[in-house]
Amino acid sequence: MTDCQLIQISDIHLTSAGMLFPGARPRENLLAGLELLAGAGLAPDMVILTGDLANTGESACYQDLAEIMDRAIGVLGGRVVYLPGNHDERSAFRCYLLGQDPDSSPINQIHWIDGLRVVSLDSVVVGEEYGELGDETLAFLRDAIATPAPSG
Q: What is the pTM of this model?
A: 0.92
Question: Is 30:14 a contact under the CB 8 Å cutoff?
Answer: yes
| Residue 48, pLDDT score | 97
DSSP string, the chain: -----EEEEE---B-TTS-SBTTB-HHHHHHHHHHHHHHTT---SEEEEES-SBSS--HHHHHHHHHHHHHHHHHH-SEEEEE--TTS-HHHHIIIII------S---EEEEETTEEEEE---B-TT-SSB---HHHHHHHHHHTSS--TT-
Q: How far is the C-alpha of 14 from the C-alpha of 52, rounded, in Å?
A: 8
Contact 44, 76 (CB under 8 A): yes
How does residue 152 score in pLDDT terms, banded at 50, 70 and 90?
confident
- Judge whether residue 1 has pLDDT over 70: no
Q: Are strands 79-83 and 109-113 parallel, antiparallel or unpaired?
A: unpaired
- Mind listing the pLDDT tens digit for each residue in 72-130? 999 999 999 999 999 999 999 999 999 999 999 999 999 999 889 999 999 999 888 88
Q: Give CA–CA dist 101/137, Å, rounded.
A: 19
Q: Amino acid identity, residue 145?
A: I
Q: Is the CB of residue 106 less than 8 Å from the CB of residue 88?
A: no
CA distance 60 to 54: 9
The predicted pLDDT at position 10 comes to 96
User: Considering the chain, what percentage of its residues have pLDDT values greater than 90?
Assistant: 82
